[in-house]
Structures are given as C-alpha cells and as structure tokens.
Amino acid sequence: MFQKILIANRGEIALRVLRAAKELGIQTVVVHSTADADAMHVRLADESVCIGPPPSRDSYLNIHQIVAACEITGADAVHPGYGFLSENARFADILAAHKITFIGPSGDHIRIMGDKIEAKRTAKRLGIPVVPGSEGAVSDDREAYRIATEIGFPVIVKASAGGGGRGMKVARSAEDLPVALATARSEAGAAFGDDAVYIEKYLEKPRHIEVQIVGDGAGKAIHLGERDCSLQRRHQKVWEEANSPALNAEERSRIGEICSKAIADLGYSGAGTIEFLYENGEFYFIEMNTRLQVEHPVTEAITGIDLVHEQIRVASGGGLSVRQDEIKFSGHAIECRINAEDPRTFTPSPGTITHFHTPGGLGIRVDSGAYSGYRIPPYYDSLIGKLIVHGRNRVECMMRLRRALDEFVVDGVKTTLPLFRELVGNIDIANGDYDIHWLEKHLAETAATA
C-alpha cells in the first residue's frame, strides 16, 4: 500500500479523496493555488504545498510543479480527482517515468479513450454496442454523403478530439451535410488542433445512461450498475440517479456484463465510466471516461462500495476488494449538484457564503468543502457541494430528497437549490419520465413565469 498520496485537485473532490486516504491509513499531501489557501481540504491534509497563482494553467494544470511537490514531500502516488489533469495521458506517463504511481489507468488507455474515433473502434472490437455510423474518420464529402444515406438522416458529425458535446453538428437532410461537415471540421481544427470528424446516426430523444466499471489491470473487472445522467443543461449534468428509472433488472445486468467483460479484456486498470445513449430499449456507446466522476456517490450509495478505496487498492497492486457476485444493488440514490449559480440563468455567483447549513438524517450525504464564511474563488467551476440521497426505493428517495432540500441553507451567494426544490415536485421527474432534452425544454417553458 502507498505511504503518502498527493491529491492534485481542489474543492469537494479533494476532500472526498482525502477522506478515503485517511481511512486507509495513508498520509495525505494537497497542492493548492494561492486562491485556495483557506480551503477545507488544505486544513485537513497532513501536508500542503502552494503550487502557484489562481489560474489553473499556472497551478492545478502545472505538471512540473506537481511533480516537484511529490519529490519534496516524498509522495509515492497521485490522485488526480476529476477535471484538471485526470485525463491527461502525458501527466500519467511523466509520473510513471518518475516512479510515482498515477491513481488511474495507463497513459495508453487514457490516450485511446481521449480520441473518440479510436475509443469507438476499441469499444466495438470489445463487443460493446455502438451508434451506427462511419468506420473511423470521414475525409471527403462524397464518402460522408454515401454513409449518411446508408444509415439515414438525421446524422450527427462529431469531432474525434471533441467529447462532452464540443464540436458536434446535426445534419437533418442531405442539403445540411456539407455545412455540418465544414463547420465541425473547422471548429475542431481551431479548438483541438485536430480536424478529424466522424458521422453517426442522430438519436432524437435518448437518455444518457453510463455504466461504472473498475478494472484491476490484470484481466479482472467489475461493474457497479448504471447512472442516469439525462438531466443536464449545455452538457453540464444537474441531477443524476442510480439506478436509471428507465431500465429493468435484465437490461441492467446485460449491459453491465458487456462492460465488465470488455474492460477485463482491455486489461484496464482503475475506475472508469462507459457512456451510452439509450433509446427504444437499445444501448449505443458514445464515449468512455477514464476518471472518477462527479456523480460517483450515487453508485456508492446503492452498492455500499467506496470507489476511491477501490481506485487506491487497484493502483497499489492490491486488487479489487469485491467479486461481481458479491455486489448487491440496494435501493435508489439521487445526486443534486449544488452550484453557486443563478438557478435560472446558471450565471456564476462567486462570493462569500455567509451561512452554510447542511441537511442530515438517514440516507443523506453531503460532499462539500464549503463552510460558513468560505469565500468562493471566481477562478474555478461553480460546484460548491453535492447532496446525495438514498432510499429503499425511488419514492422514498424522492420524499427524503424533498425534506433534505428544505433543510439546506446556503446564504450569501445564489445557488441551484431553488431549481432542485422545483424539480422534486415536478410530475415528469416524479415519474422518471425524461430524456437528455427535458431540462432545457422545461427551463425554456417556465422562463416567463419564474
């Protein structure tokens, strides 16, 4: 096991990882920018190193400063959290060259999944169902036209270097195709320095369902069921739940087994998420994330498994703590992302939290680094905490969530709490009847009255 882990992140996830390391009896080091000197995780860590000024590129993205902090403190492993350097293959390679363990997959596996064409090709080879479309990049418009007419319109043009919704264009008919290809190519070239694009059948009203996996890097892997992350705005998830209200037990174990087998065959090490669009009873792979995700606690709630413990165990060579047949899914969990943002416009609202009071009681978890008097820096994302609620079934979970939202107090800044108080009383949400477009449609429909 590791002696000392360096946490290369900030906010609630730095605290989340710190808690897991402490439980495992591992010493903790955090790195932070000057803007985060008074953060909760900095106070709770055994050691801290200031690595630079507020802008991320000069601190949380500064690989050399982070490696230097490892050398100075004698850390033998780095947990990258999510965002920042968590899916940076070069960072994983550089740590390996310094004999420091990156708590995550190999640089090569990160690289494969970062290239969306290569990721899709790999998924297909491993037996994961993919969206019908081009085999790899489309280089000329005639070829694109041939593929599009074969699979049928509408189609979507995606950037290979994109992901998370960047560099996508929908073509509803053949007339739209040349413009969709040209814009997707030029946007991808400008944004990523790589103008490779591919084509897929466009799914009109899918749900976003993702499967949590963990591999031991030696040919064994488990799945921990799925999360439904369809409630999103501009590709920012807002509300996530496990299980998906749309799946039955047979679909759950079928897709889970496909994913765990694929990850075992790949020899993947660490936690990962395989993302699907789900429509009319079919799953279609879109991307794989090679990191721990923001919404991982809903999976922890229904399985009782600590995903960060598993990440650390696997990275240290200790293997997985559970076999697939020992994993039982129990009840239902929902996560609400509490952002310091206007609840209608989502405009960031940094400032000082004058009063912070979190709900408690059975089935309630709050992951947050915030406290009364905490000043939210304006330099980073606006997530100030996550409310995760568990119940024996979805109805109990929703009742408990409504009560927890009533108890939650965040004064001094605007937050997304009022949005959740509204959603928990909505009939479609109560019925689990929503797709990836539901929230944006709802916000547009209720804009005048809000």
Q: What strands lie across the sheet with 332-339, from one edge to the other?
A: 282-289, 269-279, 207-216, 221-233, 236-242, 332-339, 383-391, 364-367
3-class state of residue 348 by DSSP: strand
**In the complex with ligand MV4, which residue's Cβ is closer, 364 or 436?**
436
Residue of 291, 313, 394, 400 marked active site? 291
Query: Which stretches within 168-316 are classed as H helix?
Result: 177-192, 249-266, 296-303, 307-315
Q: Which one, of 236, 295, 238, lies nearest residue 423 by Cα? A: 238
For residues 266 and 282, give the distance between their C-alpha atoms in angstroms, rounded to a whole number. Answer: 23
Give the torsion sign (CA, 259, 264, 265, 267): positive
**In the complex with ligand MV4, which residue's Cβ is closer, 66 or 156?**
156
Give the torsion sign (CA, 140, 142, 143, 149): positive
End-to-end CA distance of the chain: 53
For residues 193 and 214, give the distance between their C-alpha atoms in angstroms, rounded to a whole number. Answer: 32
- Residue 305 C-beta: closest distance to ligand MV4, Å: 25
- Residue 11 C-beta: closest distance to ligand MV4, Å: 23
- Residue 244 C-beta: closest distance to ligand MV4, Å: 13
**In the complex with ligand MV4, which residue's Cβ is closer, 68 or 170?**
170
Binding site for ligand MV4 (CB under 6 A): 131, 156, 163-165, 200-203, 208, 232, 235, 277, 286-287, 436
- Residue 184 C-beta: closest distance to ligand MV4, Å: 12
Following DSSP, what letter does each residue of 72-133 receive, concatenated? HHT--EEE--SSTTTT-HHHHHHHHHTT-EESSS-HHHHHHHHSHHHHHHHHHHTT--B-SB
Residue 291 falls in the annotated catalytic set = yes
* Amino acid letter for position 38: D
**In the complex with ligand MV4, which residue's Cβ is closer, 147 or 436?**
436
Residue 248: CB atoms within 10 A of its CB come to 11
- Residue 285 C-beta: closest distance to ligand MV4, Å: 10
**In the complex with ligand MV4, which residue's Cβ is closer, 134 or 415?**
134
Active site amino acids: 291
